């Protein structure tokens, strides 16, 4: 039989493709990957089950990354599906699942859908002008990595746009709870455009303090995107300093640092100035 990876798109339950919906209705088991992204606020497993007319099994990070056999179990004898917000290959985790399935000689089919990787074109920047995508993580008092800066700087040197994917923390545990084996999780946290912009400006200040030239400054224009594909989608084009103080509302957020722009791109971006 077949293991299906099915993209759900970006907005709500109705964004699944017709092909994907038909497969979901006919599979023996359907799992929902519930940590690399989220569906529209207010939607949960119950909402999906009501729309699909069947049970959906939630699969958190531990299940997907460490207990994948629980998902693949029986897929050699019956059809099993894993639902993924966006496109199935928007996260490397899902490629690993495909490899594990193939190692067990389980046929795999992928049903693609829209993801943030292509939907960012809604701001007017042309997709083929994007360089390497980076992930910006939430800083703590003791852990403040800057490795993504070098990729941004390289994209800037090449005149390419940079899509910054912002951090998501779901079902995270404190060190104490992990050590004690307590299944107590912290509230979900989603990085904001303002937080990401502030971190980027801090990195710039640190580089300048070392005598280095920074790839951008507080006047560099950036694009903030919130809830792309949702009914209340928001796009703002402003300076990085302004973005560090900008309220974009509920998650999910993404940030773009434009490179060299075509006049048509500029005309589109101008429509999103606050």
Please report, in range form, the residues annotated as the binding site for S-adenosyl-L-methionine: 10, 87, 90, 115-116, 166, 228, 253
The C-alpha atoms of residue 92 and residue 66 are separated, in whole angstroms, by 14
230 in Cβ contact with 10 (< 8 Å): yes
Stated length of the chain: 274
Annotated binding site: which residue ranges? Answer: 10, 87, 90, 115-116, 166, 228, 253
What secondary structure does DSSP assign to the chain, as a single string?
--EEEEE-BSSSGGGS-HHHHHHHHH-SEEEEE-SS---STT--HHHHHHHHTS--EEE-HHHHHH-THHHHTTTTTS-EEEEESB-GGGSHHHHHHHHHHHHTT--EEEE----HHHHGGGGS--GGGB---EEEPPP-SS----HHHHHHHHHHHTT-BEEEEEPEE-S---HHHHHTT----PPPEE--HHHHHHHHHHHHHHHHHTTPPPS--TT-EEEEEESTTSTT-EEEEEEHHHHTT----SSPEEEEE--S--HHHHHHHHTT--
* Residue among 209, 229, 231 nearest 119 (CA): 229
Structure tokens at 28: 């023996």
């Amino acid at each position: 039989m077949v293991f299906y990876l099915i993209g759900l798109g970006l907005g709500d339950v109705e964004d699944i493709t017709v092909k994907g919906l038909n497969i979901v209705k006919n599979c023996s088991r359907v799992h929902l990957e519930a940590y690399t992204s989220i569906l529209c606020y207010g939607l949960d497993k119950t909402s999906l089950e009501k729309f699909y007319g069947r049970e959906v099994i939630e699969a958190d990070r531990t299940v997907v990354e460490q207990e994948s056999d629980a998902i693949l179990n029986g897929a050699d004898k019956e059809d099993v599906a894993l639902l993924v917000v966006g496109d199935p290959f928007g996260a490397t985790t899902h490629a690993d699942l495909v490899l594990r399935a193939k190692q067990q000689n389980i046929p795999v089919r992928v049903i693609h859908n829209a993801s943030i990787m292509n939907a960012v074109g809604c701001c007017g920047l042309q997709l083929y002008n994007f360089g390497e995508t980076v992930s910006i993580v939430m800083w703590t008092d003791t852990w403040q990595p800057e490795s993504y800066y070098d990729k941004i700087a390289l994209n800037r040197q090449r005149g390419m746009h940079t899509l910054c994917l912002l951090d998501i923390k779901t079902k995270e545990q404190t060190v104490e709870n992990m050590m004690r084996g307590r299944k107590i999780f912290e509230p979900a946290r989603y990085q904001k455009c303002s937080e990401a912009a502030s971190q980027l400006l801090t990195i710039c200040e640190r580089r300048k303090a070392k005598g280095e030239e920074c790839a951008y400054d507080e006047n560099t224009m950036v694009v903030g995107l919130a809830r792309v594909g949702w009914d209340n989608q928001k796009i703002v084009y402003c300076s990085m300093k302004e973005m560090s103080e900008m309220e974009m509302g509920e998650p999910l957020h993404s940030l773009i640092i434009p490179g060299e722009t075509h006049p048509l791109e500029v005309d589109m971006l101008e429509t999103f100035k606050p």
